[in-house]
Amino acid sequence: MWQILLYVAWLSCVYCYQTWLPVENSEVRKDGIKGTYRVDVDIPANDWINVTKFYDVLIFNTGHWWDRYKFPKDTPLVFYKGGKPIEPPLDMHNGLKVVLKSIASYIEREVPRKTLKLWRTQSPRHFYGGEWDHNGSCVSDRRLEEHELNSWFDPQFGGVNKEARTVNLAIQEALAGTEIQLLNLTYMSEFRADAHPAIWLGKKDAVAVYGQDCMHWCLPGVPDTWVDILAAQIMHHFKQEKG
Ligand SMILES: *[C@@H]1O[C@H](CO)[C@@H](O)[C@H](O)[C@H]1NC(C)=O
Ligand SMILES: *[C@@H]1O[C@H](CO)[C@@H](O)[C@H](O)[C@H]1NC(C)=O
Ligand SMILES: *[C@@H]1O[C@H](CO)[C@@H](O)[C@H](O)[C@H]1NC(C)=O
């Protein structure tokens, strides 16, 4: 049997102690900053250290963890290298780019060549008319048309759903020249504005409290297709390897 590990890079901070993952640092500072979250761009997360040689397939992704809602101005991310804050300080996106490059080079260095390494691109969101906390909605049974996609997702239009393609660009840059293959599921998912839980959240008042959910997916649904594609890609790889 193949050993497969789905690794969600940068999970929440709840489980982490150091490293690529943000860690809370609660010194109070003068400049209106209540606390910072430290990210050591050059130290792998603990969970990584012993897995690099064991698995036949490693799958990475970037999740939706780094955003301005989790790390607002008064509790920012601060990026460290060699144990010292990077100067001048990096903003979240530039910090992410440095961390992605650091992860990619760690993988190239530490993971055996025969391991299949995939990086899943971002899962797009479909908030229409505003962010999740500004009445953004996705009650729709209509798929987007191809000619609509850029206006929804292209960062140059500055819409609320621009994150996926923005992060994908950083991923693409970080993986250039490595053996890590992209598992590009973003484009096919961009069409599916109709496939999120929206107001059908199962809990009373959930929409009033959290807004509509235009980020996660209904199941059965889009992620099942991702799994089919992933399975095909894994089979293809190992068939080729056998010759
Ligand atoms: C990694 O493996 C070493 C040796 O087996 C062990 O001492 C160490 O605690 C492990 N580290 C983690 C984070 O599991
Ligand atoms: C969301 O819509 C409600 C009802 O129309 C309105 O009262 C509220 O101010 C809106 N909230 C935001 C953040 O725009
Ligand atoms: C993913 O695929 C789409 C459609 O082919 C393409 O436009 C996009 O550039 C790809 N993204 C990455 C990061 O390669």
Give residue-wise pLDDT tens across range 14-55: 233 334 556 666 655 556 667 788 888 888 877 777 777 888
Closest ligand 2 atom, CA of 135? Answer: 1
In the chain, the N- to C-terminal Cα span, in Å, equals 19
What integer is the mean pLDDT of 202-214? 91
Closest ligand 3 atom, CA of 184? Answer: 1
Q: Could you give the CA distance from residue 53 to residue 151 in angstroms, rounded to a whole number?
A: 43
Specify the higher pLDDT residue, 32 or 195.
Answer: 195
User: What confidence tens digit (pLDDT) does each residue in 61-102 have?
Assistant: 887 767 777 777 787 888 999 989 999 999 888 998 999 999
Expressed in angstroms and rounded, the spacing between residue 107 Cα and the centre of ligand 1 is 18
Expressed in angstroms and rounded, the spacing between residue 134 Cα and the centre of ligand 2 is 7
User: What confidence tens digit (pLDDT) does each residue in 120-170 have?
Assistant: 999 999 999 999 899 999 999 999 999 999 999 999 999 999 999 999 999
Asked whether residue 7 carries a pLDDT value surpassing 70, the answer given is: no
Around 103, how many Cα atoms within 13 Å sit in the side-chain half-sphere?
Answer: 32
pLDDT at 128: 97
Q: Could you give the CA distance from residue 123 to residue 163 in angstroms, rounded to a whole number?
A: 9
Q: Can you list the positions of beta strands (E) in the chain?
A: 4-8, 23-25, 36-40, 57-61, 77-81, 84-85, 116-120, 181-183
What integer is the mean pLDDT of 173-202? 96
Phi then psi for residue 44, to 5 deg, are -65, 150
Expressed in angstroms and rounded, the spacing between residue 93 Cα and the centre of ligand 2 is 29
What are the domain boundaries of the chain?
Answer: 1-120, 122-233
∠ Cα 99 105 111 (to 5°): 120
Q: Residue 133 CA: which ligand is closest?
A: 2
Q: Torsion-angle region of residue 198: left (phi > 0), alpha (psi -120 to 50) or beta?
A: left
pLDDT at 144: 98
Asked whether residue 2 carries a pLDDT value surpassing 60, the answer given is: no
Asked whether residue 4 carries a pLDDT value surpassing 80, the answer given is: no
